[in-house]
Chains A and B, each alone.
Chain A
């Protein structure tokens, strides 16, 4: 059993949380005592931070639409097709026909990479996230 110190994903308070890891599964969450925001406390969402991680509803394989249905495919197939379509539509619209939505739930590093991808590769500034929602 290990306890891994991380940051809560739910609200902007940013509590310090320990995730309890047992045999490759996250089985619990508890507050950090010394963290300046959590100070030994979490709200009910924080105490149940781990509940969704092993949900049976998690997506675990790439999906692609074939004959109107989403069916499991390999990573290569999904990535190749996505790159081909974004490249094709980007080139034909000069980047203007592509829109990218990033996420306030993803990390800073991922947000940074996605805006770099939009601007440097897809050549569009059509990137936003739901800051205002």
Chain B
């Protein structure tokens, strides 16, 4: 979420989920909300029932797009030109919120200069969206008093992911649609506790509470509380580690509850890295593809067997309560870490997970007021929560941006790293579906969820299918420059001609063998959403 951090100073959802219901205009971009965030989609549809206008920007005609007032089916990877075109229309028609821009933001002149250099007819051609529709979307969004933008991995999983997010922030600031109730910019976080894992500093460059490791004051605070010296240089990111290869710096890895051999792009490189390690330990609830490569595998307790907290996409910290003791000989990940730490000569003594939260509160100011007993008697607390009397913060940037003034960062179009060519004529897009979750290690265990949706399907447009003489249910070989998989075809006009779409939940069909390792230089988010492939009927 680096993009929001540079513009607003904080990378979290600015609204509460329920506020979406009271928006007048909802702009959804790069998010298949009905499938990936069902409860957020429910609020959007409630808002539509109450008369709100819904604008969906997505290359596919998703279920949400079918309910939309306006669906802009842009060419994949052209989010920036589309957003720039909307902003240009807003300037041309004097719909910008000049007072907000003057009082609350900086660097507007640079954005304006960039927008005035653009040619709308050219942007229409690049995005494949009619200028008329772009104009209507811009007018709807800018004229309403309460407009919300929701975006998801469709925006961040591009080589220009950070620039995409900045462009969304530009649009919101240009029209003053931030820092008010029912109005804002909301990144929808994919997995249940992504927000919490970031908040807790499971990141190479920050301690808990987004305090930079290379800042001496922060580091000294942590050194004082933890009574030991800490490394100052930021570490390697996920893909720098899993893609470092046989000759890279990685000699040993400890992996807790992740399955990089299914979730990361360019799997052959991940496999090379993992098999060349001198030591690999994995803690998980199932023997995942990654665990099968390990030297040591720890059986972890599931969420039903432990106590702790998760933080949802609206920054709400909530309790997870133990329902049953760990099954078999399982232990919680906390117990495993504490046992290892003790053996390495660093004692971690906690009576309970509530005590761990007390240490978090001591060190991370945004969690300072959060305690397990407060959570027990409420529906959770939304951070920042500055002290034990603080009620939490339903919407961010209430009176000022976290970083002071909002900063405009103008961005130009950056085409995807790999576009279709003669040898690989189709554009492959991948994502999630309603019935399964991430690499499927949990949901695939459910007989019912598997019956509803038991294998990966490749969505192909009827015109392409006719040309390839493929019928629904036929098996295809799909190949990219990096690898090939076998997959069943589903014919549908939900995808545009020339594009195909599937999802990555299924171990038998490892789509990430095909995807590309190009990544966004700032947020280091891999470009999953776009790569070029070839199809052959089997």
Contacts and interface: CB of A to CB of B under 8 A. Distances in A.
Given A64-B297, A95-B231, A108-B308, 17 more contacts: A4-B323, A11-B36, A11-B190, A13-B39, A37-B17, A58-B285, A79-B339, A81-B296, A86-B254, A93-B249, A100-B254, A108-B357, A115-B208, A125-B231, A130-B238, A133-B263, A133-B264
A103 B283 CA distance: 10
23 contacts: A6-B321, A9-B303, A10-B442, A12-B195, A14-B380, A37-B312, A45-B435, A59-B297, A75-B329, A97-B251, A98-B250, A101-B255, A107-B308, A107-B320, A108-B317, A112-B208, A114-B337, A115-B202, A121-B341, A128-B204, A130-B263, A131-B197, A133-B525
Contacts of B294: 63, 65, 70
A108 B443 CA distance: 22
A115 B311 CA distance: 17
Contact of A78 (B296, B318, B452): B296
Contacts of B320: 6-7, 107
B38 A132 contact: no
A95 B225 CA distance: 21
A61 B328 contact: yes
Nearest to B193: A104
B325 A24 contact: yes
Interface string A87-111: 1011001011111111111111111
Interface of A: 2, 4-16, 19, 21, 24-26, 34-38, 41, 43-45, 48, 50-55, 57-65, 70, 75, 78-83, 85-87, 89-90, 93, 95-117, 119-133
A128 B157 contact: no
A29 B20 CA distance: 26
Contacts of A90: 252
Nearest to B161: A132
Nearest to B338: A113
A26 to B, nearest CB: 5
A43 B38 contact: yes
Contacts of B156: 132
Contacts of A4: 321-323
A127 B236 CA distance: 7
A1 B200 CA distance: 35
Contacts of B380: 14
Given A41-B42, A50-B304, A131-B194, A101 B258 contact: yes
Contact of A109 (B237, B254, B296, B309): B309
B38 A13 contact: yes
Contacts of B94: none
B299 interface: yes
Interface in B366-403: 379-380
Contact of A60 (B238, B252, B327): B327
Contacts of A78: 296-298
Contacts of A83: 340, 343-344
B284 A59 contact: yes
B310 to A, nearest CB: 5
Nearest to A81: B296
B194 A14 contact: no
Contacts, number: 418
A101 B238 contact: yes
Given A111-B196, A129-B238, A64 B278 contact: no
B67 interface: no
Contacts of B526: 132-133
B331 A115 contact: no
Contacts of B291: 59
Q: Which 9 A-B residue pairs are closest in the complex by CB-CB distance?
A: A60-B328, A14-B312, A107-B308, A125-B235, A103-B257, A12-B313, A97-B251, A51-B446, A43-B38
A28 to B, nearest CB: 11
A82 B336 CA distance: 11
Contact of B353 (A44, A63, A101, A107): A107
Contacts of B317: 108
Interface in B325-373: 325, 327-334, 336-341, 343-344, 346, 348, 353, 356-357, 359-360
B233 A125 contact: yes
B137 to A, nearest CB: 26
B99 interface: no
Contacts of A116: 226, 348
B304 A109 contact: no
Contacts of A21: 323-324
A132 B524 contact: yes
Contact of A108 (B234, B256, B297, B360): B360
Contact of A48 (B213, B308, B449): B449
Contacts of B234: 125
Given A13-B17, A48-B446, A51-B447, A82 B296 contact: yes
Nearest to B279: A85
Contact of A89 (B241, B278, B348): B278
B117 to A, nearest CB: 31
Nearest to B244: A99
A108 B446 CA distance: 26
